[in-house]
Amino acid sequence: MTEKQITRRDFLELGKKLLIVTGLAAIFAPVVAFFFPVKLEEMPVDPVSAGSIEEFPLNSSKTLRFGRYPALIIHLPVGFRAYSAVCTHFACIVKWDHNLGKIVCPCHEGLFDPLDGSVISGPPPSPLKQLSIEVIDEQVFIGANE
């Protein structure tokens, strides 16, 4: 059996073709992705599990993915509350500050009431979007209010 030797010229031609194919893929992949975007739900249709009740000690919070934007769940003495974690001012992600007992926007020091999501102070123009919350078999579920 004889082995075919690849010449230097053949090797360079193969490398050139490979670079051309890679360059075309780099150019056309974003174009194809533009015409066939990934489906991103604004809010999930079905309730989303946030975990078990044991994961939520009193006065604690958890931020989790909820559709396209995160959600904030807070365990208060009066029960659970859930809100969109996106500030209504400049779309920063809000956090629960258990020392203050308020929901805080770290970008511009906006404060929200944890009981109803209303604006207490700062630049946010409107309250946080409240999400429905339900406990079923020791599991916490959140859903969108329609």
CATH no. for residue 103? Answer: 2.102.10.10
Question: Is 51 exposed, middle or buried (CB count within 10 Å of its CB: 0-12, 13-18, 19+)?
Answer: middle
Q: Residues 145, 130: contact at Cβ < 8 Å?
A: yes
Would residue 40 count as lying in a domain? no
Q: Which domain holds residue 64?
A: 48-144
Number of domains in the chain: 1
Would residue 35 count as lying in a domain? no
Residues 47, 49, 50, 54, Cα dihedral to 10°: 130
Would residue 138 count as lying in a domain? yes
Would residue 83 count as lying in a domain? yes
Model pTM score: 0.70
Q: Write out the two tokens for 108.
A: 């511009």
Would residue 18 count as lying in a domain? no
Would residue 119 count as lying in a domain? yes
Would residue 54 count as lying in a domain? yes
Q: What is the pLDDT along the chain (146 residues), one digit of tens a residue?
A: 567 888 999 999 999 999 999 999 999 999 988 888 777 667 777 888 889 999 999 999 999 988 888 999 999 999 999 999 999 988 899 999 999 999 999 998 899 999 999 999 989 999 999 999 998 899 999 986 55
Would residue 56 count as lying in a domain? yes
